[in-house]
Amino acid sequence: MEVAQRVLTKQEKEVKIVVVRDTFTENSTIGKMLIDGAFFCYTLEDTIRDKKIDGETAIPYGTYKVIVNMSNRFKRLMPLLLNVPNFEGIRIHNGNTKADTHGCILVGATKSKDFIGDSKATFNKLMSKLNGVKDITVEIIR
């Protein structure tokens, strides 16, 4: 008896992103981004604070649904995290330092203290992975 296997299209595929925060300074939070369990890149976020300072505080730990839509600010398609408590407009995008985050998650291929590099190319690779995927979540952990 032959068993038919169906290949999932990107539209049917689920992508799980996990950001593991592991380096904490007074200026930034650096971590690793895993996609479906495999290392993809480094991340840089604002500092974790007990009390939110607008544009200077990392989002809370948790799991968030993600959509890819047009960013009015960046004028391109970008991942947007939904229903982040006390935050709006949290995206995953390119950038190198805390000055570029404004609460968002930056991606890069290299890291050093308070810095990630090769960010534009890394962001473009991320967008290729997410292109056409309808079910995306991001989990922020330590």
CATH of 14-141, one of 3.30.70, 2.40.50, 2.40.440, 1.10.3450: 2.40.440
Q: What type of residue is 12?
A: E
Structural domain boundaries of the chain? 14-141
- Which residues lie below 8 Å from residue 118, measured CB to CB, with a gap of 6+? 108, 109, 110
What is the residue-level pLDDT of the chain in tens, covering all 142 positions?
444 454 555 555 899 999 999 999 999 999 999 999 999 999 999 999 989 999 999 999 999 999 999 999 899 999 999 999 999 999 999 999 999 999 999 999 999 999 999 999 999 999 999 999 999 999 999 9
pTM of the model: 0.91
Residue 6's pLDDT is 46
Residue 91 confidence (pLDDT): 97
Cα 72 to Cα 69: distance, rounded to the nearest angstrom: 9
